A = this chain, B = another copy of it.
Amino acid sequence: MHLVSIDQIRNAMARIENHVFHTPLLPCAWAQDGTDETRTLKLKPENLQSIGSFKIRGAANAVAALTPEQRARGVVTHSGGNHGQGLALAARHYGVRAVIVVPDVAPAVKVEAMRKLGATVVLVPAADRFRRANELIATHGYTLVPSFDAHEVIAGQGTVGLEIIQDFSDVETVLVPIGGGGLAAGVGTAVKALAPEVRVIGVEPELAAETRESFGRGTLVPWEAERTYRTIADGVRLCPSELTFAHLVARLDDIVAVSEDEIREAMRVLAHRAHLVVEPSGALTTAAYLFHREELPPRRHHVAIVSGGNVDAKAYAQILA
Contact = CB atoms under 8 A, between A and B. Distances in A.
A24 B167 CA distance: 14
Nearest to A117: B29
**Most chain B beta-carbon neighbours within 10 Å: one of A29, A277, A278:** A277
Nearest to A273: B52
Contacts of A320: 313, 316-317, 320
A320 B321 CA distance: 9
B30 A275 contact: no
A277 B23 CA distance: 17
A109 B272 contact: yes
A22 to B, nearest CB: 8
Given A21-B26, A24-B24, A27-B21, A48 B317 contact: no
Interface in A263-284: 268, 271-278
A174 B30 CA distance: 30
A28 interface: yes
Interface string A300-321: 0000000001000110111011
A272 to B, nearest CB: 6
A70 interface: no
A190 to B, nearest CB: 21
B30 A50 contact: yes
A285 interface: no
A47 interface: yes
Nearest to A53: B275
Contacts of A317: 317, 320-321
B272 A275 contact: no
Interface in A7-44: 21, 23-24, 26-30
A38 to B, nearest CB: 17
Contacts of A314: 321
Contacts of A30: 50, 116
A23 B316 CA distance: 26
Nearest to A46: B275
A39 B210 CA distance: 46
Contacts of A277: 271-272, 275-277
Given A21-B24, A29-B50, A275-B309, 19 more contacts: A24-B24, A26-B48, A28-B50, A29-B51, A29-B89, A30-B50, A30-B116, A48-B274, A109-B272, A268-B313, A271-B277, A271-B316, A272-B277, A272-B313, A275-B276, A276-B276, A313-B320, A314-B321, A320-B320
Interface of A: 21, 23-24, 26-30, 45, 47-48, 50-52, 89, 109, 116, 268, 271-278, 309, 313-314, 316-318, 320-321
Q: Which 5 A-B residue pairings sit nearest by Cβ, starting from the closest?
A: A275-B309, A317-B321, A317-B320, A275-B277, A29-B50
21 contacts: A23-B24, A24-B24, A24-B48, A27-B50, A28-B50, A29-B50, A29-B51, A30-B50, A30-B116, A45-B275, A47-B275, A48-B275, A52-B273, A109-B272, A272-B277, A272-B313, A275-B277, A275-B309, A277-B277, A313-B320, A318-B321
